[in-house]
Amino acid sequence: MKNLFERTGTANSTSGTSSSSNSPKFNCISSNSSDHKSSSSSSTKASSLLSGIVVSAFSIFEPREKKGVGTKSKISTSCSGSNGWAAAVKRVMASGSMRRIRESMFGFNKSSAVTSTSDIWLLGVCYKLNDAIGGDPVSSSGFAAFVEDFSSRILMTYRKGFDAIEDSKYTSDVNWGCMLRSSQMLVAQALLVHQFGRSWRKSVNKVRSSGLMLKLFLCIIIGDKQIDQGYIEILHDFGDSEESAFSIHKILEAGKGYGLAAGSWIGPYATCRAWETLARTGKALPMAVYIVSGDEDGERGGAPVVCVEDVSGCCREHSGGGADWTAILLLVPLVLGLDKLNPRYVPLLGATFTFPQSLGILGGKPGVSTYIVGVQDENAFYLDPHDVQQVTNITKTDLEADTSSFHSNVIRHIPLESIDPSLAIGFYCRDKDDFDDFCSRASKLANESNGAPLFTVTHSRNSPKTASQHDMGVSENRVDDSYDMLHSNDGQEDDWQLL
């Protein structure tokens, strides 16, 4: 089984190795949203019992092994082998069967390369690892809650075997669809939060497990939760067919005016515009979509500005004039450098994950898109769409559907400073109060950016702009980067997946 944590890049992952100017510090700003207030504490409490019983137990009894190159070895000071009973328990807990149960439940093993006990921010929720035993983050009470949260996020990957896209011969999106898949994951997260709130977690016993005893154990510890009908409906809407509202077929159709086509290389800006068009024409999204752009007609160029009047008008349009405000998905396409990410933006990007409205980032290694969902120190955690899977279309009524291919408990991470400068940030605001809270946080972040904010907030287009194009570090001549590098061998994983 793969390690829970996989890393791409060469930067040292040990906390405190980066310089203070480039090492991001993520501080939480108190939220005014009741849903966001309760999500972090409730999810942590829900997993604390399981963490205490299983994670800590394994950390105490399992023999400590030397870490890989570049990491520190841990020496256990607990459970001396001189005690016969303790030694027997230790052998049982360290046995292959118990390790397999642990890996099935949490997706990790003790050869994990992560040694930092710094806070983890995952889509607006903070997980504290400061109670780790012997400095091992896996043993902390917050780690199991983090893993449960991460593995509950919906994963979209390359698929093969679906119906051909329109008049093309493409029945797979391998090697060209990773940006589309990343955007599907971001929108799926918005739908989960919209329907269930940020504290929602998938039903563990409904995802394929390795055996009956493990499933029974999980039911005893966690409870036999029934799978959510709404969750199944969300997965159905992302099926790979013309009938599914948010399929790759529908996104490409909506994005024709921005150059989207099957087999083409697609960047974050065009993808965001495709979702905006899909929201306006398809009427399937239960929320408005607003693209944070830099000028009055919504084309590229200039510093991105969240215009409150425009957002209000977008909500009214979505409701057909029946409401002044609706739930809204904010997409912020950015170009934060030329060939590489300008390091001054690294702390700002990391700080967006502390927003309760955070939906993460569309971006990744240059030329290859992923869905970035969290940060710890200088590292970014992501879901990778580059695994190739057979098409799976779930019907709305199939509550016994195998949903395992839509989730991952393998947590990969890369240095945040190494991501492509062409990216898009997503935020979800449930109502006007939530939007006002977002604007307050965004304005504070802009004020702390030393003159180079990611984006700014203004009430109307006639208001003085607080950031210039030069301040944003955006090049007028920079075309929208495309993602996915074509390979000669169809179906072969690209270099982003070879970790």
Helices H / strands E in the chain, number of each: 14, 14
| Catalytic residue (choose from 384, 420, 434, 480) | 384
pLDDT recorded at residue 166: 86
What would the two tokens of residue 2 be? 């793969």
| 330 neighbors 429 (Cβ within 8 angstroms) | yes
3-class DSSP assignment, residue 186: helix
Pairwise CA distance, residues 88 & 251, whole Å: 57
pLDDT at 44: 46
| 23 DSSP assignment | S
User: Among the options 178, 272, 307, 315, which is catalytic?
Assistant: 178
- Among the options 173, 386, 420, 484, which is catalytic? 386
Residue 297 CB neighbours (<10 A): 6
Beta-carbon contacts of residue 36 (< 8 Å; ≥ 6 apart): 124, 198, 356, 357, 434
| Mean pLDDT per 10-residue segment, the chain (499 residues) | 44 35 46 47 46 40 39 38 51 42 40 70 95 85 91 96 91 95 98 95 57 48 58 95 94 94 92 95 91 65 83 94 92 93 96 98 91 94 95 89 91 92 97 97 95 92 50 39 46 30
Are the CB atoms for 425 and 172 separated by under 8 Å?
no
Q: What residues contact 218, with CB distance under 8 A and at least 6 apart?
A: 105, 204, 205, 209
Strand partners, 138: none
Known active-site residue 178: yes
On the 0-12 / 13-18 / 19+ scale of CB atoms within 10 A, 42 is middle
Residues in CB range of 63: below 8 A, 6 or more apart: 76, 90, 94
Residue 236 designated active-site: no
Residue 293, pLDDT score: 87
Structure confidence at residue 83 (pLDDT): 52
CB 202 within 8 A of CB 222: no
Name the nearest CA neighbour of 205 among 138, 146, 148. Answer: 148
CA-based end-to-end distance of the chain: 14
Is 273 in contact with 255 (CB distance < 8 Å)?
yes
Give the Cα separation of 118 and 135 in Å (integer): 10
The model's pTM: 0.73
Q: How many CB atoms lie within 10 A of CB 407?
A: 17
Q: What does the alpha-carbon distance between residue 157 and residue 240 come to, in Å, rounded to a whole number?
A: 11
Residue 457 — φ and ψ, nearest 5°?
Answer: -125, 135
CB 158 within 8 A of CB 174: yes
pLDDT of residue 283: 80
Q: Reduced to 3 states, what is the DSSP secondary structure of residue 126?
A: strand
Beta strand 388-390 with 328-335 is: unpaired
- Which position has the token pair 């020496």? 75
